[in-house]
Structure 1
Amino acid sequence: MVDHVIKRFRATAERHASRPATRIRVGDGWRVQTYAEFRRRVDSLAQGLIDAGIEAGDRVALFAGNSPEWSGADFGINTARGVVVPLYATSTPEQIAHIVADSGSKLIIVGGRSEAERVIEARDEHPMPPIYVFDDYEGRPDDVRPFAELLKEPTTAVDTRLEQGTGDDLSAIVYTSGTTGLPKGAMLTHGGLTAQVDALEDFFDFSPEDSSLSFLPLSHALERAWTIVVLLHGCLNTYVANPRTVAEQLQLAKPTMMVSVPKLYETVFTTVHQKVQASAAKKQIFSWALKVGRHNQYAYRSGRTPGPILTTQRALADKLVFKAVREAMGGPKKVLACGGAPLRPEIEEFFSAVGLPISTGYGLTEASPLVTFNAPGDFKIGTVGRVLTGGELSIAEHGEILFRGPNVMAGYWNNPEATAETIDEDGWLHTGDVGYIDSDGFLTITDRLKDIIVTLGGKNVAPQPIEGLILSDPLFEHAVLIGDTRPFVTLLVKPHAPSVEELAKKLHWPGELPDWMNSSELLAELKKRVDEITAKLPSQERPKETEVLAEEFSMDNGLLTPTLKVRRREVEKRFKEKIDAMYERLEKLRHG
């Protein structure tokens, strides 16, 4: 089997030349590109890069939002046997300077004015290579060239260059969005990426009739790897330029496949539950329908066919409740996957009941990124599935998960010390995550090793399960447990504004939303709910105080990662004064 992404892509593009490969919403319609057109653009860029002096193994930075052009550039760079260095669309000039300098990128392709201006500003930190921009703009400096100038008529030089490519070639250097220190560049190979494609084929039936929605950042290892799966199977990839429009795009595109992070599923779950709260009758019907859906799923999971009564009830539940949820998600799904962070079991159960089972998985950039996954015929709710074909799992000291497999990175670029710390002599990748493997081989993640809180009294507290419990209440949007080297744990919470508004109106609080977010009434309600939710936890795991944060959590302000996980260390740093004040208050109370 060919183990080079572009060689496989070329075979796919030949087989499905006239089928649509990419599309993006423009105005009231779609801009569509066939596989033949996409292949021509990829080869044209490869020729342009060769003409520009890019050699095999040279790095080319790619700094843009999601678009068909992004994937075209990604594949074009790899066709010339260049190495893609993706930059997040939210990258600052300082981050750009570090990544471009560390990778030694010979050229940088940017999306538009915003990205170009940040690259120009990054010159203050480090000289920048030639810059090419997808979307030309007025007032563009002369040394920022239109991307169209890179597109050349392909010659045999492209084929000759590609023929020499192997699975050991680097496809990309993806810089980890670490919470501490400078990001490190994980070297991902073509062989590692194709091994993932093969592993998924054992469990999922991909067809050229399928389509996917790409809205997670393509600069992230998860979305990039999934896009490779989509485009290597002749499927249609729909690109979402603005992730805030994903709900609308789901309705318009009606994809049969999608990879997401928990945030989308949590939002749908919360929205559906909120909609039925206003009416006692709706609430009763909804609860009944979910119960019916769950019992149907239990029957299938135990290998039984639901009886006639349950089948009739399921049809009614579908008509009254489930169909509307599926329509909000853009219709039925062949693949509905989730990665990047833990997904709460009640959300998995909900989507399973409505006929949209989610295949949860686990991975990290250093594994290209897939380690384990649940599949439609081989899953266990509450776990992240079994290890991919050809891979091995082991649990080390302190419960750390170790992984060994064909898709482990070749190491960190220019950083042998960090590589040696992460991949041991036996080839085991030390993930930094904590978990356990059950007797059936399914993996459960319990926390990040570095996130484990060790209190002043030496008690170990895993924050993620506790935060997950708290977030099961829709009044909470984000929850961050604090307590490392402190006498006990406390809690920072960001309330969910629509839920706060609904509660305030119901309880007739005075004022408007900004007043309610900072009110003593809200704080009292949040504390009461935290106490109730955590009442059965051991004493050392129960927050002794709760502080409200009004600031939004986003990628732009650095409080969320590109997969919408909370940057715990950044939160602790940003709100240090609030945290210190909280502990000072508690200390005074303790000592009268």
Structure 2
Amino acid sequence: MEHLAHMFRSVVAEHGSRPATRIRQGEQWVVQTYAELDQKIRRTARALVAAGVEPGDRVSIFAHNCPEWTQVDFACMTIGAIPTPIYATSTPEQIKHIINDSGARLIFASGESEASRCLDVLDEMPSVLQVVSFDEIQLDGTSTLSAFDATGDGPARRQELEAEVERRMAEVVGPDDLCAIIYTSGTTGAPKGVMLRHRNLIAQNHALSLYLPVTPEDHSLCFLPLSHALERGFSMFTISRGCMNTYVPDAKQVADLLVLAKPTMLASVPKLFETVYATAHAKVANDPSRKKIFEWAMRVGGQCQRAYRKGKEPNLYWRAQLPLADKLVLSSIREAMGGNKKFMACGGAPFRVEVAEFFSAAGLLVIEGFGMTEASPLISFNRPDNFKFGTCGPVMEGGELKIGAESEILFRGPTVMKGYWNNPEATAAAIDEDGWLHTGDGGYVDNDGYLVINDRLKDIIVTLNGKNIAPQPIEGLLLADPLFEHAVLLGDNRPCLTLLVKPSLPHLAEIAEKRGISYTSPTELLENSEVAEEVRQRVAVLTEKLPSHEQIRDLRVLFEDFTMDNGLLTPTLKVKRREVEKRFGEVIDDMYAKIAERRRGSGHGQ
């Protein structure tokens, strides 16, 4: 049971007739049981052996979330091959880097878009033998999954291949084998291949099972990229418990599919929760009576939930108001999230306390955790019956935390990676001789044993005056206002702090309507002086209580969206700071030049 392929077969033996995967096609759900998925996995495993894939060979999965992703993933692990995921948004150059670094022999792609990008650089990827598409496409240089699987289907050949698959399961695969090489989607530097072992994921499953009350009747919504350690890890846990996973190929569909699928649990990055939070507040912002009812309902729900957290019955005053508050406001928040949940897990980026309290007031628990790809990704997490908002919870079972130099969080435990693929220098820098993983995050463990994150150490701003400033708490203050979609604080090696903000166009349109401002395009709206002044005023009010060295001295409003496609966001929707600074370098330089001019004009110099 220390190998994921053996784990899967154990789940099939116990829960074979239960639903394993579900995906929406048109107006219908397509569901397959664990037994049906197992048969497809065995078929693909035979075909991989027939294609000459040996234990230890790398096989890339370049696809959107779908049942076939999991099918190929487990088929590779069944024969001792190493799945090497690639984000479906990757460019040909990024594909080439991962394939050539890993030496992958096969690429499984979603469909025509992904396969075409592979073919664009196929001549520059000498290790690749075949590109296989999940979709039935007609594209020279590719085959389809159905055709690929059929290569192991001849009666005599099938018996021979089945025997080899079973031999590998019995004699070859083991807990220290790699279950994946996951390339980091970090905000800086070239992606590095994180080598995760089967025992890492098995230990993670065990740690989660001790505290998360999940049964086979539960089901999850799989919408974060399976190429990322968070979704792949949570999906492995979902499978280990015999649950159903509902696959979301396009994250833009998540709001609709939450309501349709009604999952009892899910893992997400903060962006989903922040979007629901901002939307709920925006709906009542222009109606004083609705806003008053909304705020009252949230206050009632919050008071009751805080009492429940302490194991107490809420005060009768609040308890008596809860049914009406729930009917008018709180139930609609739950409905937007697809109904009641056992829990919702959140990780991958900082999670604001006010957003956690918002969902708690509506009766939805969001438990924050901390992790990184290099730890499979689990390091610490809040438990449904043992949590504290504003923290990332206690360390996982079997793990240890230590605070190192510059308050860096160090972790040692059963989920720590083997190292970086073909990169011993980077491995030595990440894991010290005593086995401590250097996370690169600053923080501390509070008196109750809960981990608190301050900021990424690489993101700490050091101004010319020598002031050290953590940007994320200040950006969090700004993002509490639904007007702002993204905020990037600047000032490293500069005389003061400045800001780049990407506002929400619908919220800017509301401002324009209130002020009677007419415009013919979003650009004209963004360039309007009254609108720009409103943005400045909002920033000033939100940050007025910050100390002098943390005050924002100037800002610029950005027109361009922040997306994965344009390289400004990671797949978990974190801002790539260095990329933003590079993309808007001229805007930033101009901003600081104007500040210098103003200071010279006032006699303060630089």
TM category, shorter:
over 0.9
For 1:528, the equivalent position in structure 2 comes to: 537
Are the equivalent residues in 2 in contact too, given 1:518–1:550 (CA < 8 A)? no
| Amino acid of the structure 1 residue aligned with 2:510 | E
Comparing 65-74 with 307-316, greater Cα deviation is found at: 307-316
For 2:63, the equivalent position in structure 1 comes to: 64
Q: Which runs of 4+ in 1 moved over 4 A?
A: none
For 1:284, the equivalent position in structure 2 comes to: 292
Does residue 1:46 correspond to 2:55, yes or no? no
The alpha carbon displacement at 1:516 in A equals 1.2
Query: Distance between the aligned counterparts of 2:422 and 2:108, measured in 1?
Result: 22
For 1:157, the equivalent position in structure 2 comes to: 164
Are the equivalent residues in 2 in contact too, given 1:560–1:567 (CA < 8 A)? yes
**Percent of counterpart pairs with the same letter?**
54
The alpha carbon displacement at 1:497 in A equals 1.1
| Amino acid of the structure 2 residue aligned with 1:422 | A
For 1:552, the equivalent position in structure 2 comes to: 561
Of 568, 573, 586, which aligns to 2:595?
Answer: 586
| Amino acid of the structure 2 residue aligned with 1:383 | T
Of 436, 439, 450, which aligns to 1:428?
Answer: 436
The alpha carbon displacement at 1:279 in A equals 2.2
Q: Structure 2: where are the runs of 5+ without partners?
A: 602-606
Q: What TM-score do the two structures reach when normalised by structure 2?
A: 0.96
Query: Distance between the aligned counterparts of 1:24 and 1:371, measured in 2?
Result: 31
Query: Distance between the aligned counterparts of 2:51 and 2:593, measured in 1?
Result: 61
For 2:548, the equivalent position in structure 1 comes to: 539
The alpha carbon displacement at 1:264 in A equals 0.6
Query: Distance between the aligned counterparts of 1:253 and 1:299, measured in 2?
Result: 31
| Amino acid of the structure 1 residue aligned with 2:325 | A
The alpha carbon displacement at 1:124 in A equals 4.9
Does residue 1:331 correspond to 2:330, yes or no? no
Query: Distance between the aligned counterparts of 1:121 and 1:373, measured in 2?
Result: 42
Query: Distance between the aligned counterparts of 1:243 and 1:390, measured in 2?
Result: 34
Query: Distance between the aligned counterparts of 2:131 and 2:599, measured in 1?
Result: 60
Query: Distance between the aligned counterparts of 1:293 and 1:384, measured in 2?
Result: 23
The alpha carbon displacement at 1:136 in A equals 2.4
SS class of match (1:466) = helix
Query: Distance between the aligned counterparts of 2:92 and 2:381, measured in 1?
Result: 36
Are the equivalent residues in 2 in contact too, given 1:83–1:171 (CA < 8 A)? yes
Are the equivalent residues in 1 in contact too, given 2:187–2:575 (CA < 8 A)? no
Query: Distance between the aligned counterparts of 2:310 and 2:214, measured in 1?
Result: 26
SS class of match (2:567) = coil
Query: Distance between the aligned counterparts of 1:468 and 1:104, measured in 2?
Result: 41
Does residue 1:378 correspond to 2:386, yes or no? yes
The alpha carbon displacement at 1:500 in A equals 0.8
SS class of match (2:226) = coil
| Amino acid of the structure 2 residue aligned with 1:240 | V
Does residue 1:81 correspond to 2:88, yes or no? no
Does residue 1:562 correspond to 2:571, yes or no? yes
| Amino acid of the structure 2 residue aligned with 1:503 | I
SS class of match (1:320) = helix
For 1:453, the equivalent position in structure 2 comes to: 461
Number of residues of Structure 1 aligned to a counterpart in Structure 2: 589
Query: Distance between the aligned counterparts of 2:3 and 2:226, measured in 1?
Result: 19
Q: Deviations over 1:55-81 (max 9, x none)?
A: 111110110111111111111111111
SS class of match (2:221) = strand
Of 247, 256, 259, which aligns to 1:251?
Answer: 259
Q: Structure 1: where are the runs of 5+ without partners?
A: none
Comparing 180-189 with 565-574, greater Cα deviation is found at: 180-189
Comparing 571-580 with 273-282, greater Cα deviation is found at: 273-282
For 2:111, the equivalent position in structure 1 comes to: 112
For 1:225, the equivalent position in structure 2 comes to: 233
Calculate the aligned-residue CA RMSD, in Å: 1.1
For 2:133, the equivalent position in structure 1 comes to: 133
Are the equivalent residues in 1 in contact too, given 2:59–2:84 (CA < 8 A)? yes
Are the equivalent residues in 2 in contact too, given 1:64–1:70 (CA < 8 A)? yes
SS class of match (1:381) = coil
Q: What TM-score do the two structures reach when normalised by structure 1?
A: 0.98
SS class of match (2:60) = strand
| Amino acid of the structure 1 residue aligned with 2:532 | L
The alpha carbon displacement at 1:381 in A equals 0.5
Task: Report 1:91-490 matches (<5 A).
Answer: 91-127=90-126, 128-138=128-138, 140-141=139-140, 143-151=141-149, 152-153=152-153, 155-164=162-171, 165-490=173-498
SS class of match (1:444) = strand
SS class of match (1:172) = strand
Query: Distance between the aligned counterparts of 1:100 and 1:180, measured in 2?
Result: 20
For 1:497, the equivalent position in structure 2 comes to: 505
For 1:34, the equivalent position in structure 2 comes to: 33
